[in-house]
Amino acid sequence: MTHFHVRIGDSVQFTKTVTETDVVLFAGISGDFSPNHTDEAFMQQSVYGRRIAHGALLVAFMSTASTHMQQRSIAQGIDTTPVSLGYDGVRFLKPVFLGDTVTVTYKIATVDDERLRTVADMEVHNQRSELVAVGKHITKWVLNAPGGLV
């Protein structure tokens, strides 16, 4: 059995159009009801002219892309359980508006076989190919207990 099936340069993408429902449900789940996300009249007076999506919602989309990478490895048969160790260097470079379609590209940048860790570079582009967010994701591939999970 192999610990994980990823190589430097392996990549996956996740694409999603940000909807009113996404923003409202995310506000309810997270408790973040900032007028930046929930008050159209307030945002019409801002430099943006309309509501913007939560940055943390973009991080959730990054997480979805990481899950796609992990599922690809799991489908090939591994003796580990992939878990997120966190996100580094997450930056929101441009606003994402309701109605924008974003694509997360998740690309393996480093593989540490000794520590059973991978680091991926993440880029988020909108439908105009503008880079709107970046970050790094660290995954630990935790060895399963002999005979199954504990």
CATH number for position 72: 3.10.129.10
What pLDDT score does 5 carry? 84
- Asked if residue 109 is part of any domain, the answer here is yes
Beta bridge partners of 143: 80
Number of domains in the chain: 1
* DSSP-assigned letter for residue 48: S
Which residue range(s) make up the domain with 96? 11-18+53-143
Tokens of 39: 């008050």
Residue 46 lies in a domain: no
CA distance 79 to 123: 29
In a domain, 82, yes or no: yes
Residue 66 lies in a domain: yes
Question: Is residue 95 in a domain?
Answer: yes
Cβ-Cβ contacts under 8 Å for 76 (sequence gap 6 or more): 2, 5
The answer to whether residue 34 sits within a structural domain is no
What is d(CA 54, CA 123) in angstroms, rounded to the nearest whole number?
Answer: 16
Q: Are 34 and 28 contacting, i.e. CB atoms less than 8 angstroms apart?
A: no
Q: Is residue 36 part of a domain?
A: no
Q: Report pTM.
A: 0.92
Answer yes or no: is 139 within a domain. Answer: yes
Per-residue pLDDT of the chain (150 residues; tens, 9 = 90+): 567 789 999 999 999 999 999 999 999 999 999 999 999 999 999 999 999 999 999 999 999 999 999 999 989 888 899 999 999 999 999 999 999 999 999 999 999 999 999 999 999 999 999 999 999 999 999 998 776 554
Q: What local confidence, expressed as pLDDT, does residue 146 receive?
A: 74
